[in-house]
């Protein structure tokens, strides 16, 4: 039995929860940290970001360019396949480590954004949550000569490799003048406990776990695979290259997410006779 057939044998007729990572969004033009084409890069940590204006200026200058590109990303066939599986009743819920919001645009409805959403901004002082699109307009007005970074290399999580950042002007919170940060979980910070507990509950209620596009290099996602394995829930893993969960899975499909998930959806959703969900006709992220 080949890998795809083995995966279908595990998933067919079971209540499936999906767990996705950055490798799922690479076909939408969003780089990942550890995939086959990734360039080694040290992301900014939470502790560094909150250290003061110098780190925040460096982050926002780079992210201002990266967001201008990331917000135009569209769902790829992997996102659409998972939405088809949910609409057909084959996938009951989805946990994503990604912050790009593309699962929702593709049509998935029950999505837990484990690490938050890059299209939202939160104030470090008063916790006011606002739109990233509105902040982008403010930063553009404050930095009219900054340019669009046409020659800057795109990096993961809406970042870009921009060097000249010393004179970039920051935009404070409009409510309290506090410092703003993207409403995401930076490296070195913890996912909110209620969100983690919800994900554990989903995994414990599942009859199978479908993991796609993640090397499970960090505990944030690996813990759910470990919980499934501990509870005897079969795990199907779709990923190119080794992962930290390889010894925990029932079936591993060593292939790209888009073709593999599309093939799975063709069979599992097709049996249910479900039409493909309608995607958001607008841009991928809230603008």
Active site annotation includes 167: no
Q: Which of 64, 115, 136, 183 is catalytic?
A: 115
Q: Which of 208, 185, 189, 49 is nearest to 114 (CA)?
A: 185
For strand 159-161 and strand 251-253, is the pairing parallel, antiparallel, or unpaired?
unpaired
Alpha-carbon gap, residue 220 to 26, rounded angstroms: 20
Q: In this structure, what DSSP letter does residue 111 have? A: E
Residues recorded for the chain: 287
The string of DSSP codes covering 64-102 is HHHHHHHTT----HHHHHHHHHHHTTSEEEEEE---S-H
Any residues with CB less than 8 A from the CB of 73 and at least 6 apart, and which?
Answer: 25, 28, 29, 30, 100, 102, 284, 285
Whether the Cβ atoms of residue 207 and residue 17 lie closer than 8 Å to each other? no
Annotated binding site for Zn(2+): 123, 126, 173, 176
- φ, ψ dihedrals at 51, nearest 5°: -70, -20
Catalytic residues: 115
């Amino acid at each position: 039995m080949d890998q795809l057939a083995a995966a279908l044998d595990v998933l067919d007729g079971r209540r499936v929860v999906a767990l996705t990572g950055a490798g799922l969004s690479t076909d939408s033009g969003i780089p990942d940290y550890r995939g086959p084409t990734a360039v080694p890069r040290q992301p900014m940590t939470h502790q560094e970001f909150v250290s003061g204006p110098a780190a925040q200026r460096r982050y926002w200058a780079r992210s201002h360019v990266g967001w201008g590109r990331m917000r135009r990303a569209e769902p790829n066939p992997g996102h659409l396949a998972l939405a088809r599986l949910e609409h057909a009743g084959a996938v009951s819920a989805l946990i994503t480590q990604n912050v790009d919001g593309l699962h929702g645009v593709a049509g998935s409805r029950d999505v837990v954004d484990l690490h938050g959403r890059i299209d939202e901004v939160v104030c470090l002082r008063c916790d006011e949550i606002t739109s990233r699109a509105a902040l982008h307009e403010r930063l553009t007005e404050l930095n009219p000569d900054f340019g669009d970074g046409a020659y800057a290399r795109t990096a993961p999580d809406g970042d870009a490799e921009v060097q000249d950042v010393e004179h970039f002007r920051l935009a404070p919170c409009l409510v309290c003048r506090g410092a703003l940060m993207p409403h995401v979980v930076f490296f070195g910070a913890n996912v909110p406990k209620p969100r983690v507990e919800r994900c554990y509950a989903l995994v414990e209620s599942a009859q199978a776990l479908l993991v796609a596009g993640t090397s499970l290099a960090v505990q944030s996602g690996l813990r759910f695979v470990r919980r499934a394995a501990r509870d005897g829930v079969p795990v199907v893993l779709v990923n190119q290259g080794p992962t930290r969960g390889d010894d925990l899975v029932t079936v591993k499909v060593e292939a790209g997410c888009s073709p593999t998930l599309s093939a799975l959806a063709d069979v599992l959703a097709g049996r249910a006779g479900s039409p493909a969900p309608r995607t958001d006709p607008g841009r991928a992220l809230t603008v």
